[in-house]
């Protein structure tokens, strides 16, 4: 199978498997797992923060961050296409009583600064929840995997501080953003109050996400991780793969971006499909099926039969994500199969 559904389907590298088998272990709830401690220190340094916390998933990292930043009845400002808003089951609302104020995401994944400023509540007005936190997503999954720039992120952080708010970045794919923009990842994260990033997407580790912030923030986040069942024991088995991911898998993300561009450019030449190759800078490609003879669901079903997996996201839209394990020849083959299926459907 050529699996383009998500970069979460990556398998650990041979170096990761060796590191996991040989990892030095201890009980992380007691703070005694040396491999986890090393990974957390590496993650904090990479992001330009004081401390970090290993969690099992990006969803848990985001949830723990929001629970740490906000109390019951507080409000977060975020995008209406944000992963935290759409795909995390409203965990911060159901578990933390946190109110969401969703603003329209722009095509490049940003929120308009003027929209953010208008959304901030008057803290003296007893009718309103208290605005506490602004949440950004980098790269932005639903906005074509768009990377948010250093300049934009810093502008949001400056606005937040002017109003006494904090900023959390859902940086599940923030290393993709850094590679695409040609900047250090710390430049995208250091001015935020907290940032999470996934090991188990483009970095190809089997499990894990890191939440980074100040030492007091991470100390409180560790308590919230325990509340939601995230206290692990010999987590060095997981952390060992994460160390390899940070040491060896970041630079190669450029290969995924190149394959995504090849895919988008090839799709743009197939009749019945609509795609703008210029819209994609990282490893996520969305395209629309506009032929009256075949739907997105039918095309993905036929692709599955041909050994190619993609995600149908409604009556006309398909998502494909490149990642470790997908090579240039896989993209060439995929384009040939799609062209044949669209021709047969016409």
Per-residue model confidence (pLDDT) at position 213: 98
Q: Domains plus CATH for the chain?
A: 7-247 (3.40.640.10), 252-345 (3.90.1150.10)
CA 27 to CA 10: how far, in whole Å?
28
% of the chain with per-residue pLDDT over 70? 100
Cα–Cα dist 309/307, whole Å: 7
User: What would the mean pLDDT of 294-302 be, rounded to a whole number?
Assistant: 96
pLDDT in tens, 104-139: 999 999 999 999 999 999 999 999 999 999 999 999
CA distance 278 to 287: 12
Alpha carbon separation from 339 to 11, 197, 265 (Å, rounded): 29, 36, 13
Instruction: Tell me what pLDDT residue 314 has.
Output: 78
Q: How far apart are CA 318 and CA 165, in angstroms?
A: 37
In the predicted model, what is the mean pLDDT of residues 67-85? Answer: 97
Distance CA 203, CA 295 (A): 33
The model's confidence at residue 315, banded by pLDDT at 50, 70 and 90, is: confident
Distances (CA, A) of 263 to 234, 287, 340: 41, 10, 15
């Amino acid at each position: 199978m050529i699996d383009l559904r998500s970069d979460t389907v990556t398998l650990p590298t041979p170096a990761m498997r060796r590191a996991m088998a040989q990892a030095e272990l201890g009980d992380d709830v007691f703070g005694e797992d040396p491999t986890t401690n090393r990974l957390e220190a590496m993650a904090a340094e990479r992001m330009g923060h004081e401390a970090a916390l290993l969690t099992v998933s990006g969803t848990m990292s985001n949830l723990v961050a929001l629970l740490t930043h906000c109390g019951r009845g507080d409000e977060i400002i975020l995008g209406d296409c944000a992963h935290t808003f759409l795909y995390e089951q409203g965990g911060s609302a159901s578990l933390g009583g946190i109110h969401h104020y969703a603003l329209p995401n722009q095509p490049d994944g940003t929120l308009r600064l003027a929209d953010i400023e208008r959304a901030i509540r008057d803290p003296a007005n007893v009718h309103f929840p208290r605005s506490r936190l602004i949440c950004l997503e980098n790269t932005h999954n639903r906005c074509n995997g768009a990377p948010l720039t250093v300049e934009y992120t810093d502008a949001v952080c400056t606005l937040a501080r002017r109003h006494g708010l904090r900023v959390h970045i859902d940086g599940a794919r923030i290393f993709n953003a850094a590679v695409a923009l040609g900047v250090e990842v710390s430049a995208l994260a250091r001015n935020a109050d907290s940032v999470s990033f996934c090991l188990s997407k483009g970095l190809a580790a089997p499990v894990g996400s890191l939440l980074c912030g100040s030492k007091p923030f991470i100390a409180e986040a560790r308590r919230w991780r325990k509340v939601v069942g995230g206290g692990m024991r010999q987590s060095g088995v997981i952390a060992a793969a994460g160390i390899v991911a940070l040491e060896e898998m970041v630079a190669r993300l450029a290969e995924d971006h190149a394959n995504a561009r090849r895919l988008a450019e090839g799709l743009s030449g197939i009749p019945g499909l609509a795609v703008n190759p210029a819209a994609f800078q990282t490893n996520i490609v969305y395209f629309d099926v506009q032929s009256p003879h075949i739907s997105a669901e039918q095309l993905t079903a036929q692709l599955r039969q041909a050994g190619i997996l993609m995600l149908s996201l409604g009556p006309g839209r398909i998502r494909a994500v490149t990642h470790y394990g997908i090579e240039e020849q896989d993209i060439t083959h995929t384009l040939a199969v799609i062209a044949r299926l669209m021709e047969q459907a016409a």
